[in-house]
Structure 1
Amino acid sequence: VADVYPLAPLQEGLLFHHLLADGGEDTYVMPTVLEFDSRERLDAFTDALQQVVDRHDTFRTGIVWEGLREPVQVVWRNAQLPVVELELDPCGAEPVEQLLAAGGLSMDLGRAPLLGLHVVAAPGNRWLVLLRIHHLVQDHTTLELLLREVRAVLAGRAAELPEPVPFRAFVGQARAGLDSGKHETFFANLLGDVTEPTAPYGLVDARGDGLDSIQARRDLALDLEARLREVAQKLGASPATVMHVAWARVLAAVSGRDDVVFGTVLFGRMNAGAGSEVPGPFMNTLPVRLRVDETTVVAAVAAMRGQLAGLVEHEYAPLALAQQASGVPGDTPLFTSLLNYRHNVVLSRGIADVSDGIGVVFARERTNYALTMAVDDDGEGLGLTVDAVAPVDADAVAALMDTATESLVVALEEALAGGEDRLLSGVAVLGAAERRRLLVEWNDTA
C-alpha cells in the first residue's frame, strides 16, 4: 500500500449506486472496443498503458469499505494491468458481441487497477481489445489525459511528461466544502418546495443500467446553430444555457409539469486548481430547475445562466445532498432525465490519434437515467444524441428538441428586436410532422 485516504463526494455517490446493483451489472463501467492491425502494435499499446498506470495514483487505486467506518481508497505501490486472452467461438455471435459478453460489466472495486483489457484474435489478422474503465477513477478529461500520455510513451517521449499530481490533493479540497453548510443552503433555496419528481413519460426508475436504451442522433441545421450562437451572445449567455432552456420546455411537455427539474453534467475542474490536470472522476451531475409557465424566454435564459453559474460553486456537492434538500421523498428520485452539453473530443478521434493502426469499433456510454439528451458542440455545429428506455421513442424526443430549439431562438430574436417577450410555455415543441401524426394519423379510426 502506498497511500490511503477518503473518497471524494462524487465517488461516494458512485459507490452507493454500485452497492445498489448488488455487485452485478454496473452502470459505471465504461466499455470500449479497439481494433489493432497487428499483435506488435497491441503489445506496444499495452506496455504504454501500463507505464501510465504506474505514473498515476488514481489508476493504482482500489476502493475498500467493508468493516470500516467510511469507505477509503487504497493506492497500491504496484498494480499490474490485467490482460485476459480469449478465443472466439466460430459459431457464436459477432466478434465484438462475444468480446463484450465475455468481459462483462462488473468489477472488483477492491482490486487495483480499476481498468483492464480483454484481448481476442479476430478474422483478417486483426486483434480486438475490450478496454474497461470504472468511473470511480475516470471521466472524459481523464480518458483524454490517459490517451495523450500513451501517445507520448509510444513516441519515446515518456521523460517529457510532467510530474503527476496526487489525487488526494483534490479529495481534500472537495471534502472541505461538505463541512461549511453552503451546499445545503444553496440546494434548499433552489429545491426546498419541490415535492414531486420530474418524470418524463411517467418514468421514475433511476436505477437502470442503460443496456436497454435506444439511441437516436440528429444535427441542428447550420443556419439554426449560427442563429442560436448569435442570440446567446447578445444575451450575454452561452449556447449551452439556451439549450438548457430548450430542454426544460421539452421536459414540461413530456412530463406534464410546468415546474421542471433535471440533471446537468458539470465539468468538475473549474475550481480544481492544480487538479485540472489530475486523472480521476471530476464530472458531476446536479439538478437545475425552471418554472416554464411563469417565465418569459428572455427571463428564462437569464435565470438559467445565473443558476448554472451558481452550480459551479457547488460542483463537488453530492447529488444525494441536493435530493435531501428537496421535499421529494427519499425513496423517489428528484429527476429521471439528464442534459449533457459536451465540448469533449470524440473518443474515436482521440484513440485514432494515439498511433496508426488503432481504431474504435465500439464505444457506448450508459447512464441510470431513463432519458438523456446530449448536445455535442464541436465549435462548428451542434448535434443531438438522445438515449431513451422503452417505451420512449428516442427519435421523437430528438425531433421535439429540434423544434423547441428553433422555436426558442425565433422567440428570442423577436424579443431582442423589440417585439414581445413571450412566455416560455408558448414555445412550440411539435413540428408539422409530429403535429400531423398526433392529430391526424393517431385519430384515423378507419
Structure 2
Amino acid sequence: MTAQPTRSTETAPAATSGDSDTQPARNVGRWVQSRVYLNGAMGRRPTVPVAPARLEAAARRAMSRRGFAYVAGAAGAESTARANRAALDRVRIVPRRLVDVSSRSTATTVLGTPMSAPVYLAPIGVLEMAHREADVAAVGAAADTGVPMMVSTQASRPMEEVAAAAPGHPLWFQLYWSSNEDLVTSFVGRAERAGYGAVVVTLDTQMLGWRPRDLDLGFLPFARGLGMAQYTSDPVFRDLVRRRAAGGVPGPTVRPGPGAIGTLLSMARAYPGSTVENLRSPLPRAAVQSFLDVFAQPALTWSDLARLREVTTLPVLLKGVMHPDDALRARDAGVDGIVVSNHGGRQIDGELGALDALPDVVQAVPELPVLVEGGVRGGADVLKALALGARAVGLGRPYAYGLAVAGRAGAREAVRHVLAELDLTMALTGCPSVADVEPELVRRR
C-alpha cells in the first residue's frame, strides 16, 4: 500500500494524563488495553464503561432527565441519528495481512495542527448539563489525549477560560452566525486573540430543529440561562442586554407554574455576578430575551461568508455540508476546509447519514481537507471514515457521556477508548500509520 501524500505521519508529542499515566504516542491501543486488564486482575473494573451502549446508560443515570434528553436526543423520529449509525455499519473493513505493525502511530496533521490521532472533540453546547466543570473539563480531556477540541458558541464557559485551561492546546471555534453582525465580529475577534486556530461556521442551525424529547419536557436550556457563557462574557452582547433592561423587561405572557422559580434561579446563577444580586436584577432575564432575539441568522447566504475574511486571518471551515454542489460553492468561496455533518441528527429528521454523504463531498473537492462527524462511537468507525477520505473525525456524544460519568477523567477515558480501538484496528488491518488507511480497506454495502 502506498502512503497518501496529503497525510502526515509525524509523531505528535505524548500527552500527559490527569492521573499518573502518560499516554504514549505509539501503540496506544495495547497500552490502554493492558492497563484495563492489569487493573482487572487486581479487582478494579473501568470506571467509564468501554462498550458504547453501557457508556450511554451510565451517562443517563448520571445526568438529569432534561440534560440527557438534550444531549442524546435528535430531530423528529430520530431517523437521521439512526442513519448515521447505519451508514457506518454498511461500510465493512477488508484487512490486509503480513504487514509489520509492531510499531504504529495514529498521529497526523490537519490544518497545520499536529494531532495524536485524526480525531477531534466535536462541539457540544451546554456541557454544564453533563458536569459542573463543563468545557473546562472537556478541554482538559482533549489535552490529556492530544486531540483538538472544537469549542461551541453555546459553551458553558467563555472561550478565553477554555483556552486558559489548556494553554497551547489546539482549539477551533465553532460559530453560530448571529443575526447581530457586531456580535459575530466580536466572537471571531475574541477567538483569534485567545489563540484559537480556526473558525468553523455551522450552516445547519438557522433555527432549531423539531426535537420531541426536549419539547415533551418543555425544556430549552437557553431559556434558563444555560449554555450562554460566550454571550454573557461578550461586550457587544452585554451592551444589548443593558439596553434591553433599561427599556424594561416584559413579564411572562403565560401564567407562571411551579417551575418558574427554578427558572429564575437558574438564570441568576448562570449570569455573571452574585446570584443574590442577579435575582433582584432584570439583567439575567434581559440576557435570555436578547439571546433568543439574536441567536440565529435565517437570512444567511453564501455572499455573507466574505465578511469573515474581512474580520479574521484564521482558517475558515464550513460545518454542515452534505451535498457535493455545496462543497464546490464552499471551495469557490475560498474556505479552508469542510465538515460533513448533519448535526448528529438533531436538525432534520430523514436526512442522509453523514458517512453516506462523505465520499461525494471528498470527490468534489479533493484539494480541501474534509472532516466528518455523526454517529461515531469507536475507533473502527474512525478508520472507516478515514478510508472514505476524511482527514479527521469528530467525536461527540461519547465524550459528553464520559464527562457525565466522571468529569475530566471520564471524558479522557472515553476518548482514550476510541483512540485505543483505532490503533488496534489499524494494526489488525495492516496499517502502521494513518497514511496507510486507504480506500481499498473498506467496502460499502
TM above 0.5, yes or no, is: no
Please identify which structure carries the higher strand content: 1
TM category (shorter chain) comes to under 0.3
Q: Which has more radius of gyration?
A: 1
Per the normalisation by structure 1, the TM-score is 0.25
Where relative contact order (Cα < 8 A, 6+ residues apart) is larger, the structure is: 2
Greater helix share, 1 or 2? 2
